[in-house]
Homo-oligomer: A and B are copies of this chain.
């Protein structure tokens, strides 16, 4: 039977929905306004159950999802939302064994998801210019046990990236158009470029700069998540929703400059239709 073990991360939720994420250690405890939870009461027990404080208040103990971990990060900066992160991981083919560059690190929300996705055989190279932010990200990554797959680099990316032939590169910076030449240089041929930007003006500027630097197959997309009230007899959307986090911009590194104009915009064969693949292996 699967039980919580020393070193596991656990999400503890009070009945008022206040949430805590802790790492279990023998003799450890969580101090809350409702009393103390002893970690020895959790170690060796399955999750999905109730745990009580020394004052008798009830908490629900769960494994935190990557979604929970990202939302729970200590932050000094605006953090990327799971809706955007989940989508870009698929679009940019981030998976086990990949080598990915990211800038800036910020509080480490995307870094965490990239590290999780490329582990245990890949690597994330994350650049951030502010020392205090690097320190926070390092702490955040260490807490969730993902630091070992990340190289945190305290560096201004105007000086370029150290890596060669990386699979994907993501820019969450104010003026990504300033760093396209080094981005192109560090990506492998056909490598995946991505960025997130809050304003339409920035999107226009980046989309204009990309072809001039050797990027093609450009896509701009927004991801929206609409939550519902999960009441079976009164099912309905929530009253409010997050209307905007940022625009996602994707492109591919083209190694033949003459291709760029022709392949500027990503166009689907026919709008919204699923593409049809063909198998063409010699032995087929």
Contacts and interface: CB of A to CB of B under 8 A. Distances in A.
A136 interface: no
Number of copies of this chain that the complex holds: 4
Interface string A4-30: 000000000101111111110111111
Contact of A228 (B20, B95, B247, B277): B247
A188 to B, nearest CB: 4
Contacts of A97: 120
A16 to B, nearest CB: 7
Contact of A227 (B113, B220, B258, B282): B220
Nearest to A74: B277
B282 A27 contact: yes
A116 B87 contact: no
B244 A280 contact: no
A86 to B, nearest CB: 4
Interface stretch (A126-134, A154-162, A197-205): A197-205
Interface of A: 1-3, 13, 15-23, 25-31, 39, 46-50, 58, 60-68, 70-75, 79, 82-83, 85-93, 95-97, 113, 116-117, 119-121, 143, 164-165, 167, 188-192, 198-201, 203-205, 207-208, 216-244, 247, 249, 252-256, 258-259, 262-269, 271-272, 274-283
26 contacts: A1-B188, A2-B165, A15-B262, A23-B279, A25-B281, A28-B280, A28-B282, A46-B188, A49-B254, A60-B216, A65-B90, A65-B91, A82-B91, A87-B225, A96-B117, A117-B117, A198-B236, A200-B236, A201-B204, A207-B232, A219-B230, A220-B229, A223-B225, A236-B244, A238-B244, A240-B242
